Structure 1
Amino acid sequence: MQSPNVLKPENSSQPEWAHLPVPVLCLIMDNLSEPIYHAWFAGVCKQWHLVAKDYNKKKKALPMLLLSLNNDHKTRRVLYGITEGKIFKNINLEVFYARRCCGFSHGWLATVDENMAITLLNPFKKSATKITLPSLKHRKRIKIPQFNVLKVILSHNPTSSQDNYAVVVIYAPSDLLAFINPTQQYAWTYLDENLMGFTDITFYGGLVYAVGRRGMVVSFDVNSKKYSSHLQLKPNIIVPSCYHRTFRYAERVYIVESMKGDLLVVRRFMERKEGLLEEIEEGEEERKSVTESFKVHKLLLNDQTKGSLEEHVEVKSLGDEALFVGDNQSMSILASNFPGCQPNSIYFTDDSIDVFAIKNTYCPKGPFDMGIYCLENGTFQKHYTPEYKHRYLAPPLWVVPPLQ
C-alpha cells in the first residue's frame, strides 16, 4: 500500500523525484534559508508547488530587502537575503530603481505620481496587470511626488480576490487617512481631517487600525455600507493622542499583529547626530537624525467590540518573534524558523522623509538609518549596509516573494 505522504499518482509519466515523500520535501525546505529559494522550489513542478504552499502556510515567510543598485538597469531592482547576507543580482524585478515605493502588501508594491495617483504592481508576476487608482485629493503637497503618500496597504491580494479587496492609505501633507474598494467605488472615502499625523495602518480582526506619532490609535471598517465618498468618515478613537503623559513624541510609530494574535504598537525614537554622512557635496545639507531606540506596547481590546481599549501594556520582550517595519506593511515572524534571524528584535529600514536639495532637485537623504534593534538590551546590529553612492536612490523596503 502506498504511503499517504507520497504524492505520486498511478500511471504517472513524471520523473520519480517529482513524487518524493512529503517529509523528504519538507526536510529539503527546512534547509532553504532564503524565501526566494522556496519560490524556486515551488516552480519545479505542481507537486512541489503544493508542498511549498502548505509548508509556507505553517511557517510565515521571512522578508527580503528590495534594493535599488546604481547600474544600467534603471527599471530593475534586486533582492537581498538577510540570513545569507547575499544580494541576488540574478533576480531583476521590473521596478523603477529611483522611485520610492510607498508600500508592500500581499505581494504588491505601491508607487505614487505627481497627480497623487497610486499604482499597484506585482513585480513577482509578469502577467499581473498594473492597477491604477483614482487620484487622491489635490491639496498642498510635499515638493517630491514620491513622498506624498506615506503608506499603502491592501486587505487582500487583488489577483486572488479581484472583486473583494480594499486599499488604505496615509497621505500628505498632514498624514491623513483614506480608503477605496476599487471594484465597488470610483472615488476615495476620506476620514476626518481633524485626525492627522498617522504613520502606519494594518488590518486586524476585520477592521483597519491606524496609529499616529502622538500615540493615537483609531479603527474603522472599510466594508461598512454607511460610508460615502462624499462624506468624511469619523473613525472610532481607541487611544487618544498623548494617552500617557509620559509618552515621548515618536517620529515613526508602527502597528503590527504578533504571531500570537496580539496587536502591537511599535514606537521609533530618533536622535540628532552630526556627521552622519561621510562626505558632503556642495549644495547638500547633512542629515541630522537617526534611530535612537524602540518601545513596544500591546493593546488589549474588548473581545466583544474590538473598539474599546481595556489595557495598554508595555512589552519588555517579543520572545521568539522578530518584527519587520518600514515602508512595507508591518510584519512579524518566528525567528527560530529561520537560521540567522535574531529573536526579540526589530528589523527596520530607512523610511524617513528627510530629503536634501542638490542642483535644484530633491532626493531622498539616505538610505542609511537601517538595522536590527534588540529589545532586550537596546543594542543595534546591521542587516545591510548600502554604499554611499546609493544615497540618491530609493530606500530599500521589506518584501516577501510569493509562491507562483
Structure 2
Amino acid sequence: MAKPPNPKRRSLPLPDWRSGLPEDLLESIGQRLASGHDTTSFRSACSPWRAAIPFATFGPLLLLPFDPDSDCVGFYCVPEKKVLSKTLPDLRGKVACGSSCGWLALIDEAASVTLLNPFAGARTPRVELPPAGEHIAAASSSERVSRVHDWWVLHPTNGYGDADAAGRAIKLEDRRDVFFCEIVLSASPDAAGRECVAMAMLGCSTEVAFCRVGVDSAWTLLDTKLEFSVGSIVHCQDKFLAIDCTGEISVCSSNAGGATPTAALLPSLSPPAGLCHRSYLESNGELHIVGAMMSTFHETRSFTYSSAIYKCNLHARMPEWSRARDIGDQTLFMSKHFNESFSGTSVSKYKENKIYMSEPLYGDPYDLVHRLKIVDIATGASEVKTVQKKMQGSEALGWIRPNLWKL
C-alpha cells in the first residue's frame, strides 16, 4: 500500500536558485548550454543569470534569402550546423536592405522603411524610418523616377536623352537599386541613452542619405565629395565612413545631436596594391579591409586567389594600411551581399583569429548551394563548407547577431 503524502514536505518552500548560485558556477553552466534557445531561457531567468552570459558571447547567424510573399525566413547557425526558421509576419511584402546592430532594415512597395529586430521574442520590436522620397530616387538612379498614386515608376531614357513618359512600375526586388542599397546604424535603436542614426548607401551615387531614428521625418542627403559612387559604409569611432570603388574614403558626420552634417575626404590612404574584391569593417576601433590577392604562375599560365586582411588606425597622424596576421581573440564576420560586416571578441563556439565569409569571394554564380568560407588569418589557409541548397538562386544576405536585450 502506498504511503500517504507528507503534508510537511508539501509545505516546504522551493529554493530560489536564481540568487543562491555563485557567479563562477553560473558562468560554468552558461558555457555548457547547447543551443541559442537554451541560452535565451537561461538569460531570461534574472539579472545575475543574464550577466553570466554577456551579450558579446552570442555568435551571429547567417541570414538566408527569403521570399517576400512569405513570412518565414531562415538563419544558418554555424556551430549547430543547421538552419533555424522563424516566422515573422512583418517580412511579408518587403525586401532586406541592411543588417546592422542586430536589426534588419526592410523596404516595401511604397518605399517605406522598417527596422525589425527578429530575435527579441514574441512581440517583435519594429521601428519605422522615414519613407524614401523622390529626392532619394533622383540621387540614387540615373533614370527619372516619379510616384504615381501608390506606385513608383521608372522613366528610362532613350539614346537621345528623352524620358519615356509612361514609364514602368518598379518591382519590389529592384527597390534596393532605385532607393536604398544598404542602411547602416550607428547604434541599436533601443540602446539606452544613445541616439541612433541611420545612414543609407544609395544605388549609384556619390551622395548618402541619413536620418535620426525616431526624430527626423525625412531623409537628408549629404555629398560625400567622393569622385566615384559609394560602395561601402562603415560606422567606426563614432563616425560614418563612405568608401568608393577605388578605396577613397570620406569621413561623414550626420546631424547627430542637431549638429550640421559634414563630409571630408581622408587623403593619402589608398588601399593596398593588388587587393581586390574588398570589404570593410570596424574592429577594436580600427578600420579593417578584407580582400583577395592574386598570385600568378607564369610556368603554368595559371593564377590563384588568397584572402588578405589589413588594418588602419584612423586617429594616427599619418594613417596607413598594415597587414594583419594575428587579431588575437577576435573573429571577423564578412558579408558579400551586405557590405556592413563586424567583429566579435571570444564569440562562443566560433574560432578565433578567423574570418567567416558569408559566401566565397570567387564563387560559382550557378552553384545551387550556399557555401560558407572560413579563412585562417595567420596562415591564409581557408576551408569552404556547404550550408544548404539555395532557395531562390541568390547568395546569402549577410550576418546578423541576435540582439535580444537592450544594450
1:377 deviates by 3.0
Question: Which residue of structure 1 lines up, in the alignment, with residue 264 of structure 2?
Answer: 236
Question: Which residue of structure 1 lines up, in the alignment, with residue 175 of structure 2?
Answer: 145
SS state at 1:37 partner: helix
Question: Which residue of structure 2 lines up, in the alignment, with residue 30 of structure 1?
Answer: 31
CA contact (8 A) 2:18 2:48 kept: no
1:299 matched to 2:317: no
Structure 1 outlier segments of 4+, above 6 Å: 364-367
The structure number with the bigger radius of gyration is: 2
CA contact (8 A) 1:121 1:128 kept: yes
Question: Which residue of structure 1 lines up, in the alignment, with residue 288 of structure 2?
Answer: 265
* Cα separation, partners in 2 of 1:187 and 1:162, compared to 1, 3 Å: farther
* Cα separation, partners in 2 of 1:268 and 1:311, compared to 1, 3 Å: closer
Question: Which residue of structure 2 lines up, in the alignment, with residue 317 of structure 1?
Answer: 326
- Give CA deviations for 1:312-366 in whole Å, capped at 9, x if unaligned: 322123233210121274221234x533x222221111499x9x9xxxxxxx997
* Cα separation, partners in 2 of 1:127 and 1:86, compared to 1, 3 Å: closer
1:367 deviates by 6.9
SS state at 1:24 partner: helix
- Give CA deviations for 1:174-217 in whole Å, capped at 9, x if unaligned: 36422111333332222226424333333333222233332222
Q: Which amino acid letter does the alignment assign opposite residue 191 of structure 1? A: L
Flag structure 1 segments of 5+ consecutive residues without an equivalent.
1-11, 272-290, 357-363
* Cα separation, partners in 2 of 1:376 and 1:100, compared to 1, 3 Å: farther
Q: Which amino acid letter does the alignment assign opposite residue 341 of structure 2? A: S
State the alpha-carbon separation in 1 of the partners of residues 368 and 293 from structure 2. 15
Of 208, 221, 233 in structure 2, the residue corresponding to residue 201 of structure 1 is 233
State the alpha-carbon separation in 1 of the partners of residues 93 and 334 from structure 2. 21
SS state at 2:118 partner: coil
Question: Which residue of structure 1 lines up, in the alignment, with residue 126 of structure 2?
Answer: 129
* Cα separation, partners in 2 of 1:369 and 1:207, compared to 1, 3 Å: same
1:131 deviates by 1.2
Question: Which residue of structure 2 lines up, in the alignment, with residue 19 of structure 1?
Answer: 19
State the alpha-carbon separation in 2 of the partners of residues 19 and 182 from structure 1. 38
| Structural RMSD (CA) | 3.8
CA contact (8 A) 2:102 2:117 kept: yes
1:331 matched to 2:342: yes
SS state at 2:321 partner: strand
1:36 deviates by 4.4
* Cα separation, partners in 2 of 1:189 and 1:73, compared to 1, 3 Å: closer
1:63 deviates by 0.8
1:214 matched to 2:246: yes
SS state at 1:145 partner: helix
SS state at 1:382 partner: strand
User: Residues 90-129 of structure 1: matches in 2 within 5 Å?
Assistant: 91-94=86-89, 96=91, 100-114=95-109, 116-125=111-120, 126-129=123-126
1:236 deviates by 2.1
Q: Which amino acid letter does the alignment assign opposite residue 87 of structure 1? A: V
CA contact (8 A) 1:76 1:95 kept: no
* Cα separation, partners in 2 of 1:252 and 1:102, compared to 1, 3 Å: farther
Flag structure 2 segments of 5+ consecutive residues without an equivalent.
1-11, 144-169, 295-303
1:263 deviates by 0.9
State the alpha-carbon separation in 1 of the partners of residues 199 and 211 from structure 2. 7
CA contact (8 A) 2:113 2:129 kept: yes
SS state at 1:395 partner: coil
Question: Which residue of structure 1 lines up, in the alignment, with residue 203 of structure 2?
Answer: 172
After alignment, is 93-102 or 197-206 more displaced? 93-102
CA contact (8 A) 2:333 2:342 kept: yes
SS state at 2:50 partner: helix
State the alpha-carbon separation in 1 of the partners of residues 142 and 358 from structure 2. 24
CA contact (8 A) 1:164 1:183 kept: no
CA contact (8 A) 1:253 1:267 kept: yes
- Give CA deviations for 1:104-135 in whole Å, capped at 9, x if unaligned: 22221002235544321122232523413231
CA contact (8 A) 2:359 2:395 kept: no
* Cα separation, partners in 2 of 1:116 and 1:399, compared to 1, 3 Å: same
Question: Which residue of structure 1 lines up, in the alignment, with residue 53 of structure 2?
Answer: 55
* Cα separation, partners in 2 of 1:214 and 1:53, compared to 1, 3 Å: farther
Percent of aligned positions that are identical: 20
Q: Which amino acid letter does the alignment assign opposite residue 203 of structure 2? A: A
CA contact (8 A) 2:373 2:383 kept: yes
* Cα separation, partners in 2 of 1:366 and 1:106, compared to 1, 3 Å: farther
User: Residues 364-403 of structure 1: matches in 2 within 5 Å?
Assistant: 368=370, 370-388=372-390, 390-392=391-393, 395-403=396-404
More strand by share: 2
1:61 deviates by 2.2
CA contact (8 A) 1:293 1:373 kept: no
State the alpha-carbon separation in 2 of the partners of residues 312 and 141 from structure 1. 34
State the alpha-carbon separation in 2 of the partners of residues 108 and 332 from structure 1. 16
Question: Which residue of structure 2 lines up, in the alignment, with residue 346 of structure 1?
Answer: 355
Q: Which amino acid letter does the alignment assign opposite residue 52 of structure 1? A: R
1:387 deviates by 0.8
